[in-house]
Amino acid sequence: MSGHIDTVDNAAATPEVELPFVELGLKDDEYARIRDILGRRPTSCELAMYSVMWSEHCSYKSSRKHLRQFGEKTPPEAKDILLVGMGENAGVVDVGQGFAVTFKAESHNHPSYVEPYQGAATGVGGIVRDILTMGARPIGVMDSLRFGPADAPDTRRVLPGVVAGIGGYGNCLGLPNVGGEVAFDETYLGNPLVNALCVGVMRTDGIKLATAPGPGNKVILFGARTGGDGIGGASVLASATFEAEGERKRPAVQVGDPFAEKVLIECCLEIFAEDLVAGIQDLGAAGLSCATSELASAGTGGMRVVLDTVPLRDPTLAPEEILMSESQERMCAVVEPAKVQRFMEICAKWDVTATVIGEVTDTNRLQIIWRDELVVDVPPRTVAHEGPVYDRPIARPADLDAINADDASALPRPSSGNELRETLLRLAGSANLADKSWITDQYDRYVLGSTALAMPDDAGVLRVDDSTDLGVALALDGNGRYARLDPYAGAQLALAEAYRNVAAAGARPLAITDCLNFGSPEDPEVMWQFTEAIRGIADGCLALGVPVTGGNVSFYNQTGSTPINPTPVVGVLGVIDDVAHRRSIAFDSDDAVVYLLGETREELGGSEWAHVVHSHLGGRPPRVDLDAERALANVLVTGAASGLIGAAHDLSDGGLAQALVESCARGGRGARISLPDGLDPFVALFSESSARAIVAVAAADTAAFESLATDNGVPMSRIGVTGGESLDVGGQFSVGVEELRLASSAVLSELFD
């Protein structure tokens, strides 16, 4: 409302005034509902709040109905370890010895396409603040990245900026980046996926929640000043189908300052240590609109805020812009009056700007004042928690039967030893399977000194505290090709792979988070993929005995009418009693016996071989066997803890061949392998059957290890022994370890340097 303040009284007196609700992403019926809630038209400030909080990104209006399955299907085992579940900034689990761990994954896909560096950097900053808000010290980050073809011009624009943003922000924060994944596929051209995970540690009695209890308690905004960057950024960008002109939307992308966030972290931890907050919320998507409405609705029920007191970087900002700004490195705390002075002293010590902007009330209204005028007067729950819930139409994709019928087993395959050797080297040198050191070397993985294992091993392992050997392991996995062929099975395969990776590192899988990346929810075929993936994860977690602690949904990942492959990414957290027992993928000793665990079948649908060699996507993904996954995990965890297993590596993309390549390259030594009898050598090497791993066992421990596998019902084959300078696949081919390393190591540097 240019020229004057659009007050609540003015809104009531001028019902005929038209507001730009469509431009702000609201539908006609949504705007009508807002008018019904208020009994009048909204003010321009109220419209700003409802538009960002009712966006898909913030309200989960298309997904909330289906996400309930995660709570409904929580496994019975979770009751003993789940301290905070879905609905808060991040889930919290009890890992023993008085320690709790909080972890969560979030997406920053659209901003990272618009402005790769800042989009990725602020994605890291946002997920770190989610963890901090729970009362925890962040101890590590991971990321799951997907781009278009590695040689595509737009990938060369986006990937270096994304990687630099992740590294630049995380390194400056002093947080180790200990793992994740990077994948390339045509479907992500113009729609990169940037999913970031953070993990933090606290004592079990130190959990903080996003709530505003106690009338009279003060509302304090602290951290960076509020600017014009990120207005409508994550919320609006993530709720609009992405078009080609998206690169011109740069003003909506947040700008991060990792040094300000580092100081904010230390300031918060000192505040927490003195128990100075009754509730706390970070300012991420939707900024003050989110923080004030969520805190108020989760507490006593009311809040009064004087918007003029908000510290600004840009004094020309309108009140609507202040409410929508997504400027980074900001927090909002609820503090008892008697504790305000000490709170301010700590902020001053850390040179963190802190201002009392309001107080908690018992009015059940969120009231915001601007220049002595009431510009917002709303029931806070209607903004934060009672947005629209859609039951979107669902339809199985019309082309799925034809895709499933186009089985990869009919594709021409190598048969001679030389052809198998060439295929192994071609896959090892493909962008998806190549050495990712060009990317990961830009991340500091050992800062803080708590890293026990990191990429390229199967999982990242971090010690939870200097006072103990207790550790946690984390893995992030997904496969959009599998999910395109069968989203139910594809989601379970992502869950199973992350679960298996954590177990291969020697940790007992405990809980999961997820980042669900899909196209437009207004497309019935996309909604079918989404609902099937949700059902797959919920059923899979129930079978594996691990709860979903929280996560993120990212819709509208498409250009025009072409969506990405459905890409559920699953993060699994495990606990390891002694980090000295963690296991690497590396063949790091000679004469260890190599075992193949699990059952290999001819399963090539969605495989890396079909993708790289034939650009083919068809058939069905590998069969899911969660009982077999659970049994395999028990063997891997028990074998590591007892010292029976010297090295372990899960089998996934690229099958046995790629696992052998990576274990040989990681350890700098070869292996002499005999493929299992009764299998086509090609199938034995390149099938991607799930619930499989290879392990290296000292010769003296083989009898005990075989008893362990037999007792758990896990099929095993003794397939070789480590040592030498080459990978020898008996009767087929031999390739030097140095040749394997060279085939894989320079791929990304040649593309992106």
Query: Could you report the per-residue pLDDT of 49-65, keeping only the tens digit for each?
Result: 999 999 998 999 999 99
| CA separation for the pair 516, 528 (Å, rounded) | 13
Report the alpha-carbon angle 604-607-609, nearest 5.
95
Domain ranges, residue 294: 57-384
Of residues 172, 180, 259, 175, the one with CA closest to residue 223: 259
- Contact predicate 146/193, CB 8 Å: yes
| CA separation for the pair 176, 138 (Å, rounded) | 10
CA 36 vs CA 32, 48, 376, 699: distances in Å: 6, 17, 16, 75
Question: Which pLDDT score is estimated for 232?
Answer: 55
| CA separation for the pair 89, 632 (Å, rounded) | 33
Residue 408 lies in a domain: no
Residue 243 lies in a domain: yes
CATH of the domain at 101: 3.90.650.10
Question: Which pLDDT score is estimated for 240?
Answer: 42
Question: Which pLDDT score is estimated for 236?
Answer: 39
Question: Which pLDDT score is estimated for 87?
Answer: 85
Residue 732 lies in a domain: no
**Per-residue pLDDT reduced to its tens digit, 425-462:** 999 999 999 999 999 999 999 999 999 999 999 999 99
Query: Which is catalytic among the residues 66, 108, 110, 616?
Result: 108
Residue 238 lies in a domain: yes
Residue 617 lies in a domain: no
Residue 57 annotated to the active site: yes
Residue 513 lies in a domain: no
- Number of structural domains, the chain? 1
- Contact predicate 592/722, CB 8 Å: yes
- Contact predicate 15/196, CB 8 Å: no
Residue 738 lies in a domain: no
Q: Which element (helix H / strand E) includes 616?
A: none
H-type alpha helices, 283-390: 287-297, 319-324, 340-349, 380-384
- Contact predicate 206/272, CB 8 Å: yes
Question: Which pLDDT score is estimated for 252?
Answer: 62
Question: Which pLDDT score is estimated for 250?
Answer: 33
Residue 385 annotated to the active site: no
CA 502 vs CA 338, 458, 539, 659: distances in Å: 46, 7, 20, 16
Q: pLDDT under 70 in the chain at which residues?
A: 1-3, 232-252
Residue 367 lies in a domain: yes
**Per-residue pLDDT reduced to its tens digit, 711-730:** 999 999 999 999 999 999 99
